[in-house]
Every structure is written in structure tokens, then in C-alpha cells.
Amino acid sequence: MNTAEFFELLINNNLIYFSCFVGVCLFYYFLFRKVCFSMLDPIFISLVGSAFGASVVVFLFATSAISSFYFINYLATQFAFLAGFLFFNKFSPAVFIKSKIKFDNVFFLQCFFVVSFITFFLSNITVYATLGIPLFLKSRLDLTVDAGGYGIFTRFAEISGAVAFYLFLHFIIIEKNVSRLFKSSLFFYLFGHIVVTFLSGSKSSVWFFAMNYFCFLMLNKNNPRVKDLILKLRQYQLKIVLVGLIFAFCIILVTFDGDPSNAFLFLAQRIVGYGDVYWHAYPNAYIEKLPHDHFFIAVFSSFLGFFRIVDSSAFPEPIGYSLTKMFYTVDMIVGPNPRHNIFGYIYLGPYFSILYSFILGTSLGYIRKLFLNAYSSRIFSKILLLFFYSIFIGIETDINYIFFQLNNILVVIPFLLGISLLVYYFFIFPIENKLSKF
């Protein structure tokens, strides 16, 4: 079923879809209301997307657009994923991370911050100069298509920006005893990051600040100053979400030349579109026509390709792209995300896909457990866990993209640390020599 056919089915059965949507959302609410305790928790967006996708499958079954076999397999894999996630959140013992890496020196952290935000700005300027400003492109995907070697700067911008923002919060909230010059650099960075956020053209870019702020508070919740901020965050989180929605809508308005009707239509399509892979794959058994070889390479292709372990010609065709070609003529790699239900069914079959979904759910639950109990860890460990948690919340959507983002960490973090250490020792050694002579 192509997208036009699905939306025609939805319009003709809008009450059925609305009933399915409300029912699924209520189910998710009662299941996770004690697990996800803030709308700014990154897992909240993941659960919202999961609920939107589930409502599409229920709607397709309610309108007899898919067989009961696929519906039962979807329910089995989805419940297995959710059960695995809840298992670690409710029954696993508390796990504390105690890193042996001691990068908590205040001056080193200042060097780490400066190197990170300079890398962030230089990477974005390079992207704008060579590939264009994302806000003014017809599609943000155009930014990295045929980008050549310049695509690496988008990786550096993403990771260095997150590191800089975490350290910005650290110096604003916890470590306040810094020079006026350094405080000026903090606010210069913040202003620049806000400008870059707007120019990025991403509808969800404002969530970067809100969610990373939430994560920072959780990672430092044993600090007395942070405890008060957590209470305030709970009071104002709804207002923050509304601001984020308004910002996203403004970005959409710019994209559609200020036409509010097209903007609202696009927003509605994006919400329903969380389940696009399901209306492509399940009806008329199109899922059976997809290539299903090389499971290991399909999972780890981003990692294997990045480090040239396996030649890219050996990679299986992306599931979303294969589905898209069945309905449209395309000249570039586009398509829906291969959510775990579809990916597992294709490569492992209807039975082992249930185990696969459970393993993914437990992985996410384990990472979240580590994240929530990392408040006694060192700063560098907290930053790494922030990255891992932010990455693994997308494990339900696209397993391969998880390894793509892990590649970014493996490349960018050592670079930032190496440059920061060089800067640190460049300044600190002369001081130590003078003190020893004195």
C-alpha cells in the first residue's frame, strides 16, 4: 500500500483511526506513566513515536487491510520489546558507573569546552559554506547527498555541540567559580548555538536543549543546586514543550513559505507517518518480497563500512529503500525507517523476530538503568552515558542508525579529548615549571 492509498483509507475511516489512536495512546500512558516521569526525558519522544506507529497497525487490522498473521506477529514483537525494556527498569539492580578516567580538573574542563564549541562552530561554518544552509534547502537530506568528504563535518558538529552544551550547563550550574572572560565565552557559545539551531531547519532541534538539560539534571541529581532545578523543571515542563512545538511549527512555516494550512497538513502527516513502514510492508504481503539475506551485515553495516571491514557493495539494500521502490520511481536512497518489528521479521522470521525484539528492549532498558544511576560518576563518564542514552532511544526505529551514531562518537570524542589535552598541557606545564623553580 502506498502513502496515497493509506491516507485515502484513513480519510474514509477517520473515526476508526481516531479510536485506534486514542486507545493505543491510553494503553501506553497507563503502561509507562510511572516509568517516564517527564515529557523532556528522551525516552518520551521514543514512546510517543512507538504509540503513533502502533495505532497505524491497529487501524490497518481494524479496516481489514492486513491479515491477522501479521497483526499477531506485530503484537508479539512489540510486547516483547516493551517487556524487555520494562524488565530492566523494574527488576534489575542499580548499576553505578565508576570511571577510572580523571578528567575532572576545572582547567581541563574549560579547555574541553573551548575546543568543543570552536569545533562546533567551525564544522557548521564549513557545512554552510560548502553544502548550503539547511533551513533554505528543499530537503535537509540534500545536505549530505553527494557531500563527499565534507559530510564528516556534520558528524563533528553534532557530537561537539552536545559536549559543549553539557559543559556549558556544568559551568553555569555547578562550577561557577570561573573568570569573567570564560563566562563571556559561555554566553557567546550559547548565542551561537541558538543561531545554528535555527539555521539547521530541523523541526525538533529545540528539543536538543530541553532534553539535554533534562539529562544533565538527572546525571547530577545528587547536587543540591540541581535538586531545586529538578523541582522547577517539573513545574515548567509543559510550557517548555509548548515552546518547542511553536518553534517546530515556525520552522515548518518557513519551509512552506508561510502557508499555515500546508504546515498543519505536513505536521499531521508526520505524526501519522511514524507508522509508514507498516502500511508499506504489511498490506498485500509486500514484506515477503523484501531481500532477507546477511542479517549480521544488515545490522552492523554502518560500523563495517565506516572502518572498511566489509566493502559497501556487499551491503544488503536498505529495507526502506526496497519498499519505496515497490511503489515509486526514486533516484536516491529514501524510505521509511525499518522498525524492529519489520527488520526482525524479514531477517529472522516470525518466531525469532520476537526474541530479537526482546533483546533490543532489554538493551534499551539496561542503558537507561545505567544512565539513571550515573549521578555518582565522573564528568567524562556522564557525558558518554548521555550520548549512549540519546542514541539507544532510537533502537526501536533503526538498529543500523545506532551504529552510525556510535561511529561518530568513536571518531569525534578522541579528537576533542586529544586537542583538549594538548591545549591543557601547553598552558599547564609552563606554570608548573615556574612554580617548581620558585
Whether 298 and 186 map to the same domain: the answer is no
**Could you tell me if 408 and 162 are in contact, meaning their C-beta atoms sit under 8 angstroms apart?**
no
For residue 112, is it within any domain? Answer: yes
Q: Which residues form the domain of 74?
A: 3-94+261-364
Whether 119 and 196 map to the same domain: the answer is yes
Grid cell 552515558 is found at 385
Rounded Cα gap, residues 352 and 358, in angstroms: 10
Nearest to 407 by CA among 319, 308, 312, 332: 308
Close Cβ partners of 252 (under 8 Å, ≥ 6 residues apart): 203, 263, 266, 267
For residue 391, is it within any domain? Answer: no
The full DSSP string for 334-360 is ------HHHHHHHHHHHHHHHHHHHHH
Domain boundary among 307, 333, 364: 364
Whether 248 and 121 map to the same domain: the answer is yes
Rounded to 10°, the helix 260-272/42-62 angle is: 80
Rounded Cα gap, residues 394 and 204, in angstroms: 14
**Amino acid making up residue 281:** A
Nearest to 278 by CA among 332, 343, 333: 343
Whether 86 and 124 map to the same domain: the answer is no
Whether 174 and 246 map to the same domain: the answer is yes
For residue 384, is it within any domain? Answer: no
Grid cell 544488515 is found at 298
Q: Specify the pLDDT at position 146.
A: 52
Buried b or exposed e, range 152-165, using 16+ CB within 10 angstroms: bbbbbbbbbbbbbb
**Could you tell me if 319 and 42 are in contact, meaning their C-beta atoms sit under 8 angstroms apart?**
no
For residue 411, is it within any domain? Answer: yes
Rounded Cα gap, residues 5 and 279, in angstroms: 9
For residue 29, is it within any domain? Answer: yes
Whether 116 and 252 map to the same domain: the answer is yes
Q: Specify the pLDDT at position 194.
A: 87
Close Cβ partners of 147 (under 8 Å, ≥ 6 residues apart): 130, 131, 154
Whether 159 and 278 map to the same domain: the answer is no
Whether 408 and 320 map to the same domain: the answer is no
**Could you tell me if 41 and 91 are in contact, meaning their C-beta atoms sit under 8 angstroms apart?**
no
What number of other Cβ atoms are within 10 A of residue 139's Cβ?
12
Number of structural domains in the chain = 2
For residue 175, is it within any domain? Answer: yes
Instruction: Output phi, psi for 230, to 5 deg.
Output: -65, -40
Q: Specify the pLDDT at position 215.
A: 93
Nearest to 376 by CA among 94, 116, 166: 94
Q: Specify the pLDDT at position 96.
A: 46
* CA end-to-end distance (rounded Å), the chain: 79
**Amino acid making up residue 8:** E
For residue 353, is it within any domain? Answer: yes
On whether the pTM is more than 0.95, the answer is no
Whether 209 and 294 map to the same domain: the answer is no
Nearest to 402 by CA among 390, 415, 391: 391
**Could you tell me if 34 and 43 are in contact, meaning their C-beta atoms sit under 8 angstroms apart?**
no
Q: Specify the pLDDT at position 139.
A: 52
| Burial of residue 354, with CB atoms counted within 10 A of its CB: 0-12 exposed, 13-18 middle, 19 or more buried | buried
**Could you tell me if 391 and 405 are in contact, meaning their C-beta atoms sit under 8 angstroms apart?**
yes
Domain boundary among 305, 334, 364: 364
Whether 298 and 176 map to the same domain: the answer is no
Rounded to 5°, the CA angle 385-390-391 comes to 100
pLDDT tens series, the chain, 438 aa: 888 899 999 999 999 999 999 999 999 999 998 888 788 899 998 999 999 999 999 999 999 999 999 999 999 999 999 999 988 766 544 444 444 445 678 889 999 999 999 999 999 898 888 877 776 665 555 555 555 555 688 889 999 999 999 999 999 999 877 888 888 889 999 998 988 887 776 666 678 888 999 999 999 998 888 888 888 888 888 888 887 777 777 767 766 666 677 777 777 777 888 889 999 999 999 999 888 778 888 888 887 877 778 777 778 888 888 888 888 877 766 788 999 999 999 999 999 999 999 999 999 999 999 898 888 888 988 999 999 999 999 999 999 889 888 989 999 999 999 999 999 888 876 655 545 544
Whether 249 and 267 map to the same domain: the answer is no
Residues found in the chain: 438
Rounded Cα gap, residues 51 and 347, in angstroms: 24
| Helix or strand holding residue 218 (H, E) | helix 206-219
